[in-house]
Amino acid sequence: MPEGDGRIRPGRPGLCPSRNFANPVPHILAPLLFVLIWSSGFLVGRGVAAYADPFWFLALRFTCVCAVLACAAIGARVAWPRGVRHVGMHLLAGALMSGFYLGPSWWAMSRDLPAGIMALIGALQPLFTALIAVSVQRKRLTGATWAGLALGFGGVALVLWPRLAATDSSALSLPVVMLAAASILSLTIGSMVQKSPWATGDLRSAGAIQNLGAAVVLVGMAFVFGQPRWDGSPLLWGYLAYAVLVLSVAGTSLLIWMMRRGEATRTTALLLAVPPLSALQGWFIFGETMVPLQILGFAVAMAGVALARR
The predicted-structure confidence for 5-26, as pLDDT tens digits, reads as follows 434 344 434 434 333 434 444 5
Residue 70: what pLDDT?
A: 96
- Cβ atoms of 90 and 81 within 8 Å: the answer is yes
Q: How does pLDDT run across 190-247, given as a tens digit for each residue?
A: 878 877 776 678 889 999 999 999 999 999 999 998 888 999 999 999 999 999 999 9
3-class SS of residue 118: helix
Residue 28: what pLDDT?
A: 66
Residue 18: what pLDDT?
A: 36
pTM above 0.95, yes or no: no
Of 58-72, 81-95, 260-274, which range is least confident?
A: 260-274
More confident residue, 260 or 264: 260
Task: Return the H-helix or E-strand segment holding 241.
Answer: helix 234-242
> Across all residues in the chain, what is the average pLDDT?
77
Residue in 145, 178, 183, 151 with CA at minimum distance from that of residue 310:
145
Res. 170: pLDDT tops 70: no
Q: How far apart are CA 70 and CA 94, in angstroms?
A: 14
Q: How far apart are CA 143 and CA 154, in angstroms?
A: 16
Res. 2: pLDDT tops 50: no
Residue 1: what pLDDT?
A: 37
Q: How far apart are CA 110 and CA 304, in angstroms?
A: 31
